[in-house]
Amino acid sequence: MTPSGAARRFALISFLSWLPTGLFIPVLVLLLLDKGVSLTAVAALGVVYSVAIMVLELPTGGLADVVGRRPMIVASAAASLVALLLLGLAESILLLVASSILRGIGRALGSGPIEAWFVDTVQARSEVSEAELSRGLSFGLMASSVALAVGTLAGALIPFALHTSLAVPVLIAAACDAVRLVVTIFAMPEPKYAPTSLRSVLRGVPAAIAIGLRLGVRNALLIRILVTGAGMMAALAVIELLTPAWMGESAGSPDRGVLAYGIVAAVGFSADAAGSGLSMRLTRRLASARAVCLVGLSVSVFSLVCLAGATAVSGLGGIFAAGGAYLLMFVGLGIVGGPMGQLLHSQVAAAERATVLSVQSLIGYLAGAVGAVAVGQLAVVTTMAVAFGVAAVLLAVPGWLLVTAPTRPEYLPVEV
């Protein structure tokens, strides 16, 4: 398969992986409340989802390095499909808990193998340059952002414009996962693996996990990449927690707040896609992944400072100000994604790739959970402006560590 062909399939799978998430995000809380679930229980279901991801991130990453990428992506789509059917149709709290667990399993299974599949496929051709790899990764990120933008806007508008049940966007999301399942099976060829027993698979998983952890400890550049990713996730979690509440107040009612946030979030995801496209041009012009990361991180930090200032504006003006800051922030994050991915992949070998990506995802979820709780409480005792300012610091400090990291590649093969 040619690198361009692999990039197109990577973009398609990335799009199909994130479109369902975009569809159910705007209606998730209201749908659960409509089913009779209390707000406290809704929060608890969110914790169940996050815990499922964190518990499974490393084991599933190690398993992908043992049995292959495509089986994990197929399992991810299947788990997500069942989870969304339960979310849309079930009324029992136990079934809704099962839905949250399955959604977490689906996200954990798919966090690393999709990207690892693309990188392995491209790097099988020795003539492929790092710039071409970075452009392919940016292309996939752009597709993910477009999916989130389209899905979020559709998920917010369908119930209000068509007067349908809040479950309809969720069931459409399940159908999208069914399409992803079929596309993965028939459009993602992978080199055949030697037959393996369940015992050898289970024996190989801890070894692959140990490799990923030891790589992170021994490689200074990889550590900084992981810390920067954690800072990005923490800042993003803070924004996603505080902005809907603030917009609910600015819009005058919860329903209008949901619609306003859905539109603003869609604008943000579209901006992320634009940033990914801009990243490819900057990579060609600057010829340095580190320099492109510096540009993107600077834009995002500046936008968070602007968002802190926007809290002083109330009503419709505040919503437009937040939308502008959102747009700018996601442009910056979109610029960073591809080059930072290229830096990470330059530090690991194929046998370790999915595990390291799962380590990155696990650290990101942990940082996001801690950041959201801590900075959310800070917003309660101080102001929204202070909380958004702290989010800017959470992104600026690790970003500075990344762009000042040693320039010489530091990949060290790790023996089990």
- In this structure, which long-range contacts are made by residues 240-248, counting pairs with CB atoms below 8 Å and at least 24 apart in sequence? 240/372, 241/372, 241/375, 241/376, 242/375, 242/376, 242/379, 242/384, 242/387, 242/388, 243/322, 243/326, 246/311, 246/318, 246/322, 246/384, 247/319, 247/322
**Contact (CB, 8 A) for 336 and 293:** yes
In a domain, 194, yes or no: no
The reported pTM is 0.69
In a domain, 409, yes or no: no
Query: Band of the pLDDT at 416, cuts 50, 70, 90?
Result: very low
Q: Among 158-172, 220-234, 339-353, 379-393, which stretch is predicted with the lowest mean pLDDT?
A: 339-353
**Mean per-residue pLDDT for 298-320?**
83
Residue-wise DSSP of 247-278: HHHHHSSHHHHHHHHHHHHHHHHHHHHHHHHH
Choice between 64 and 383, residue whose per-residue pLDDT is larger = 383
CA 414 – CA 351 distance, rounded (Å): 10
In a domain, 412, yes or no: no
CA 311 – CA 242 distance, rounded (Å): 11
Total structural domains within the chain: 1
The DSSP code for 192 is P
In a domain, 414, yes or no: no
What digits encode the pLDDT tens for the residues 20-56? 999 998 888 778 878 888 766 776 787 788 788 878 8
For 193, the 3-state DSSP assignment is: coil
Structure tokens, 369: 């959970």
**Mean per-residue pLDDT for 73-81?**
95
Choice between 182 and 206, residue whose per-residue pLDDT is larger = 182
pLDDT at 415 over 50: no
Q: Give the residue numbers spanning the domain of 137.
A: 3-188+199-403
pLDDT at 414 over 80: no
In a domain, 415, yes or no: no
pLDDT at 192: 47
pLDDT at 256 over 60: yes
pLDDT at 163: 79
CA 27 – CA 152 distance, rounded (Å): 9
With a pLDDT cut of 90, the percent of the chain lying above it is 21
In a domain, 279, yes or no: yes
The DSSP code for 408 is S
Query: Band of the pLDDT at 195, cuts 50, 70, 90?
Result: very low
Instruction: Burial-class residue 197 by CB neighbours within 10 Å (0-12, 13-18, 19+).
Output: exposed
88, 84, 125: which is closest to 103 by C-alpha?
84
Mean pLDDT of the chain: 81
CA 148 – CA 122 distance, rounded (Å): 26
In a domain, 44, yes or no: yes
Instruction: Burial-class residue 94 by CB neighbours within 10 Å (0-12, 13-18, 19+).
Output: exposed
pLDDT at 215: 67
In a domain, 55, yes or no: yes
CATH of the domain at 214: 1.20.1250.20
